[in-house]
Amino acid sequence: MKKTVFATTILLSALSMAACSPTAKNEAGEAANAISADINATASEAAADTSNALDAAGSSINNGAAALGAATENAIDKADAEADRTGAALANGAEAVDNSM
């Protein structure tokens, strides 16, 4: 924001000097071109920084989702194994009851 205000002020100053002489007009034009190039470069850099930040955020989200998926699979496997052990224990208990009768 400050750069834009500063650039506008310089541009207006350069244009007011342009009315003075041909040399002043050339200098004002060069100043305007330099300011314009600086604004474009700053905007391009900001766009690239934003894009990089979004890419990094996307990667973090993907990594987190993959870790969550792996943890969920692990929990399901453990629960399945525990259910198998519980089922076996119940079957053994039922068999023991049948054998005792």
pLDDT tens profile 1-48: 666 777 677 767 766 655 667 776 788 788 889 989 999 999 999 999
Within 13 Å of residue 4, how many CA atoms lie on the same side as its CB? 3
Specify the pTM.
Answer: 0.52
Our count of domains for the chain comes to: 1
DSSP line for 25-64: HHHHHHHHHHHHHHHHHHHHHHHHHHHHHHHHHHHHHHHH
Residue 1's SS3 state is coil
Q: Which residues contact residue 35 at a Cβ distance below 8 angstroms, ignoring those fewer than 6 apart?
A: 7, 10, 11
Mean pLDDT of 78-95: 90
Residue 77: is its pLDDT beyond 90? yes
Enumerate helices (H) and strands (E) in the chain, giving the number of each. 2, 0
pLDDT mean across residues, the chain: 85
